[in-house]
Structure 1
Amino acid sequence: MQHFQALVIGSGQGGTPLAKKLANSGQTTLLVEKRWIGGTCINDGCTPTKTMIADARKAFIIQNGYKWGIYVNNYTIDFEQIRERKDKVVQQFRNGSQKGLEHTPNLTLVFGEAAFTGDKTITVTNSKGEQETYTADKIFINTGAQPVIPDIEGLKQTPYYTSTTLLDAPYVPPHLVILGAGYIGLELGQLFKRLGSEITIIERGSRLLQHEDEDVADVIQQALQEDGIRIFTNTNVLKVTAPDEAEVNLTVQQNGRQLQIEGTHLLVASGRAPQTKQLHPAAAGIATDERGFITVNEYLETNVPGIYALGDVKPGPAFTHISYNDYIVIAHNLLNNQRVSIHDRPVPYCMFTDPQLGRIGYTEKQAREKGFDIWVTTMPMTHVARAIETGETRGLMKAIVNKADNQVIGAAIAGTEGGEVMTMLQLAMMGKLTWQQLRETIFAHPLYAESINNLFLQLEDK
């Protein structure tokens, strides 16, 4: 049994920098990873999907070149080459992270699956079945989440993809049926549509993106439908069958009537669950909620003093940048003797459909429910000079302003480079700039960001 001052389980976007930070502070540190360095983001999430989305966008531009006076008579998509480029980028990021860990003094890296076996005690089982037991003064859990597979009749007997396995599909599925219209389902649906798949998306809810304002969700749905994606909302899947390897049939119920949906392949994108089952947190007295997420306080500490959780394994927004910020919170509190809380921190995010959806702060609905007296300003991308010049005018800009202090408290930018423009407004919110200041700020012409002037110009008579 080996003892360390700090033990980090999982090398995701929070665990990796935290392990290095702790080790560089002089603490003997153990980092345990069951699979690959980098967690979901580098290996299955952000890095591979955004790499492939970039390739698919280039295909989309070629397909629609006639709109810009450019005609391409013949082109082919080499999916194997796209996969190879994705794999190369993933390996670059993964290997770079691993080398950084291996060259960090006081840091020991062990590969294997960790499970709690007692108070601040874990046992790690490697690929050969060999086991080692470790103890630590402090333990940090960064084991992430994995796809949820719903309990649908026939699904267990049907071959299906998840967001992880689809990225290594041997070829572009001729007709991909997607269960779930969250960020993962929408991004992958548009990606494979642009590479040649027919796409059908099935969503249980009444509309897409139910956490967003309806006008914002509508422009995303309209764009996807313009791309030729079929979308079924208010639809429950009752049964799945696969008559052969190139066919999948779904019996669904929509608004009280049964329908049959046919495709060639199935993607299950119906949410993610924390990876805590194999971890056995109860063996160390660590509390979890009804879904298996490890519960933490505002300083990311569990109910067991000295044990912390960060990233997707805890409740809350499941974004890479939140996991990284969790690391910063813990590092400040433990190494700098601060009391940094996760309460009320900004939660920006971006969905990488085309148009992108960049979001920060309150939606209009949330602001009204919170009791804010607000102004709402919106502007279609058809009124944005840069969008008109580039010929990419799908989407809208929307901002929520608190009348009490004239400050922005929320924004949604659905458009080309929507995430970048959203970040401008996030910085404005952090700096407590008023809408009048944003209206009159000098932005370089003709950027997408310059349209912030006109967005707030509409409040001039308020």
Structure 2
Amino acid sequence: MNRKKWLMILAILVVVIAFWSSGAHDYLTLESLKAHQQSLDAWIAGNVWLAVGGYMLVYILVTALSLPGATIMTLAGGAFFGNLYGLAAVSVASTIGASIAFLVARFLARDSLREKYAATVARMDRGIAKDGAFYLATLRLVPVFPFFLINIAMGLTGMKLRTYALVSWIAMLPGTFVYVNAGTQLAQIESTGDIVSADLLLSFALLGLFPLIAKFVVGFIRRRRVYAGWRKPESFDYNLLVIGGGSAGLVSAYIAAAVKAKVALIEKHKMGGDCLNTGCVPSKALIRSAKAADTLRHADRYGLEAVPVKGSFKTIMDRVQKVIAKVEPHDSPERYRKLGVECISGEASFVSPWELEVKHSDGRTERLTARSIVVATGGKPAMPPIPGLKEMEPLNSDNLWSLDTQPERLLVLGGGPIGSELAHAFARLGSQVVQVEMGDRLLAREDSDVSELVKNRFEQDGIDVRLGHAAREFVIEDGEKVVYCEHRGERVRIVFDQVLVAVGRAANTDGLHLDRIGVETLPNGTVPVDEDMSVRYPNVFACGDVAGPYQFTHAAAHQAWYAAVNGLFGQFKRFNVDYRVMPWVTFTSPEVARVGLSEAEAKDQGLAYEVTRYGLDDLDRAIAESDDHGFIKVLTPPGKDKILGAVVVGTHAGEILAEFTLAMKHGLGLNKILGTIHPYPTWNESAKFAAGEWKRAHAPQGVLKLLEKLHGWRRGKDTNVSRSAYAPD
């Protein structure tokens, strides 16, 4: 940061400190306004232009420095200058002040952002150039966000100053008038009778109704604007069309059918999506086989004779396919047709916000219309652009399940949930596994103590965990597959038979032709959605992996409810998606389950918190099953039992977590968990014992000391008078 920027920051700090230390903020209150009203009125009467000029200078200063008091000053403009002069003074001063704040933010931070996030800033600037003026106008019209934040945020974009000033001035006029008009009525309050005057009640009614009216008007204009150039069909084939038969699509279609809407679900491959065919179901089946192998190999833990594990990998994979086949009827077209969903096998693409072109599996093409459309096309494994990787014919979470020969030496790229789950499963089944992660720990979204425990268990089970290793090149040398990694500036050579790539997922949007309706995907490939899950148009929605930000089956189902309900009833009432309590589980051994904040996230957000820990090595059921390892960690505000977040690391962690998730969802604290009867001996007792640890740490020590003295006195102990003094002669 150059000298000029530092000087500007210093100057701003000096003015802000002077503002607070001098007590100037005390004058920018409603009480102060009323207290000095008569004296100020008298002075202004003889110095009108000087008063207006001074008022505007103060208003500009307050707005430019984002100081509190702009609302009171707007009311004061009406109280002292009336509607005409007050509106003129406030609108000009607020626009000048906002423009200065805009320029200051741009001068101080815009260049730094451009250097660090060049691609993001460029994309943001393109959006601002296209829709920035309208977006700014909606923010100014509907005062949801504080105006000073809008000034700063817009200064970081590429919006032109003249556009910003003009749009701000015009869009703020209606709101400014409402506040100035309210100020004129405040100036007229002389007695309690004035409070119920018609003019005053109308002014306050306008003050309260303005945001609602503005929101309605903005919504109407936005709908007209976004649909400009499109011709809406006079009638529709369906109430809802759903693209994709995975978890999000199935739930969306199910909800629509349940409320008797006409709905069609279009799937080009297999119903059930990734979860059934290549994700949750097959991976958990494989993990269970791996756990059985580990149990046999370590049967001596349970007083039995350990036996070498023998079996055909093909037989294991056949079992995985049988599990898929057994679950498949739950997601089958036959079941959903019985529920009232029309299932179409084909590929869909957008023609308009209400119309899809569907290419059926038999080659037929037709166009279908619907009042609302839900995009639920899921995701696919991401493939990093590493030289030579494609030539290795890499495995991923999609094609892995066609494997019938177990790799003797398996290289796993990625230390996230998918990579960790599959690395551990293959290691337990007997493969020599090397897991390469370019970060400094496994499961980077979890706290470091969680990652360390999982890493230690992996190494005990024979996994060669390589942290801080970045794969740079894949080659074949002397008939062997080799990857070269960079680690602390050194080149590391690793030999393998097959490589499994698990470095994340990308959204499935190919073939949808979203560009036809003006929708651009985000840098991570997902479709941009609003809080109601809509995509640009109020009748087009997206949910599941294609929308993000969570790539879990249960998150997709959660989003699907909002997409379907808003798609069917959004003209009457819309619901914003709620992510406040989102649990997830990584099915390694030990399992890692979390809901709410981690310690790292709490620190990043600047939240004060306490940590309560309970070791599962103390739990009777865990000891009885020789699974006495892991812990529970709960975050709470200092001195309070409200749960901010919880993580469980250990056997059955996913099931244990459910109690904390329920408590967080319904606002129950640790005291409620502690007061709940848990059957003995169960794994869920651990939740109660964790709550007990919190209670023990917050026991009222002063009261306990008094009780100790009371009980001692009642026993005749710890008193200054000997017991013999009360004994009969």
TM-score, length-scaled by structure 2: 0.61
- Contact persistence 2:469–2:486 (CA under 8 A): yes
- Contact persistence 2:374–2:563 (CA under 8 A): no
Q: Which amino acid aligns with 2:529?
A: V
- Secondary structure of 1:458 counterpart: helix
TM-superposed deviation, 1:129: 4.4
- Contact persistence 1:4–1:28 (CA under 8 A): yes
1:447 aligns with 2:682: yes
Q: Which amino acid aligns with 2:382?
A: V
Take 2:577 and 2:639, find their aligned partners in 1: how far apart are those partners? 25
TM-superposed deviation, 1:404: 6.0
- Secondary structure of 2:582 counterpart: coil
1:323 aligns with 2:556: yes
Match of 2:394 in 1: 160
Match of 1:251 in 2: 484
Match of 2:625 in 1: 390
TM alignment of 1:36-435, pairs within 5 A? 36-98=270-332, 99-105=334-340, 107-127=341-361, 129-243=363-477, 247-335=480-568, 338-403=573-638, 405-435=640-670
Take 1:141 and 1:293, find their aligned partners in 2: how far apart are those partners? 11
Task: Show CA shifts across 1:86-127 (max 9, x none).
Answer: 11221232233222112233x321112222233433222344
Take 1:214 and 1:231, find their aligned partners in 2: how far apart are those partners? 15
- Secondary structure of 1:222 counterpart: helix
- Contact persistence 2:581–2:664 (CA under 8 A): no
Take 2:545 and 2:309, find their aligned partners in 1: how far apart are those partners? 41
Match of 1:461 in 2: 697
Task: Show CA shifts across 1:136-172 (max 9, x none).
Answer: 2210000000011110011122221111111221111
Task: Show CA shifts across 1:248-305 (max 9, x none).
Answer: 2101111111110011111011110000122221112224212221111111111112
TM-superposed deviation, 1:243: 4.8
The unaligned stretches of length 5 or more in structure 1 are: none
- Secondary structure of 1:441 counterpart: coil
- Secondary structure of 1:112 counterpart: strand
Take 2:664 and 2:524, find their aligned partners in 1: how far apart are those partners? 34
- Contact persistence 1:385–1:451 (CA under 8 A): no
Take 2:618 and 2:259, find their aligned partners in 1: how far apart are those partners? 52
TM-superposed deviation, 1:23: 3.1
Per the alignment, do residues 461 and 72 of structure 1 end up closer, same or farther by CA in structure 2, a change over 3 Å counting?
Answer: closer
Take 1:240 and 1:150, find their aligned partners in 2: how far apart are those partners? 12
Match of 2:177 in 1: none
Q: Which amino acid aligns with 2:237?
A: H
TM-superposed deviation, 1:230: 0.7
**Equivalent residue pairs, number:** 460
Take 1:263 and 1:370, find their aligned partners in 2: how far apart are those partners? 42
Take 1:71 and 1:420, find their aligned partners in 2: how far apart are those partners? 30
Take 1:305 and 1:344, find their aligned partners in 2: how far apart are those partners? 21
Take 1:244 and 1:422, find their aligned partners in 2: how far apart are those partners? 50
Per the alignment, do residues 95 and 436 of structure 1 end up closer, same or farther by CA in structure 2, a change over 3 Å counting?
Answer: closer
- Contact persistence 2:507–2:545 (CA under 8 A): yes
Moved more, 19-28 or 445-454: 19-28
Greater relative contact order (CA < 8 Å, ≥ 6 in sequence): 1
TM-superposed deviation, 1:351: 0.6
Which is richer in strand? 1
TM-superposed deviation, 1:55: 1.3
Per the alignment, do residues 420 and 96 of structure 1 end up closer, same or farther by CA in structure 2, a change over 3 Å counting?
Answer: closer
TM-superposed deviation, 1:74: 4.6
- Secondary structure of 1:157 counterpart: helix
Per the alignment, do residues 330 and 126 of structure 1 end up closer, same or farther by CA in structure 2, a change over 3 Å counting?
Answer: closer
- Contact persistence 2:539–2:567 (CA under 8 A): no
- Contact persistence 2:299–2:307 (CA under 8 A): no
- Secondary structure of 2:485 counterpart: strand
TM-superposed deviation, 1:210: 1.5
Take 2:386 and 2:682, find their aligned partners in 1: how far apart are those partners? 48
TM-superposed deviation, 1:361: 0.4
- Contact persistence 2:372–2:567 (CA under 8 A): no
Q: Which amino acid aligns with 1:326?
A: Q
Per the alignment, do residues 331 and 3 of structure 1 end up closer, same or farther by CA in structure 2, a change over 3 Å counting?
Answer: closer
- What percentage of residue pairs aligned between the two structures are identical? 30
Take 2:269 and 2:354, find their aligned partners in 1: how far apart are those partners? 22
- Secondary structure of 1:220 counterpart: helix
Take 2:407 and 2:478, find their aligned partners in 1: how far apart are those partners? 14
The unaligned stretches of length 5 or more in structure 2 are: 1-232, 699-729
Which is richer in helix? 2
Per the alignment, do residues 233 and 448 of structure 1 end up closer, same or farther by CA in structure 2, a change over 3 Å counting?
Answer: same
Per the alignment, do residues 213 and 74 of structure 1 end up closer, same or farther by CA in structure 2, a change over 3 Å counting?
Answer: closer
TM-score, length-scaled by structure 1: 0.94
Per the alignment, do residues 145 and 414 of structure 1 end up closer, same or farther by CA in structure 2, a change over 3 Å counting?
Answer: same
Per the alignment, do residues 242 and 127 of structure 1 end up closer, same or farther by CA in structure 2, a change over 3 Å counting?
Answer: farther
TM-superposed deviation, 1:352: 0.6
- Contact persistence 1:176–1:198 (CA under 8 A): yes
Q: Which amino acid aligns with 1:255?
A: R
Q: Which amino acid aligns with 1:354?
A: S
Q: Which amino acid aligns with 1:455?
A: A
* RMSD between superposed Cα atoms in Å: 2.0
- Secondary structure of 1:242 counterpart: strand
TM-superposed deviation, 1:371: 3.0
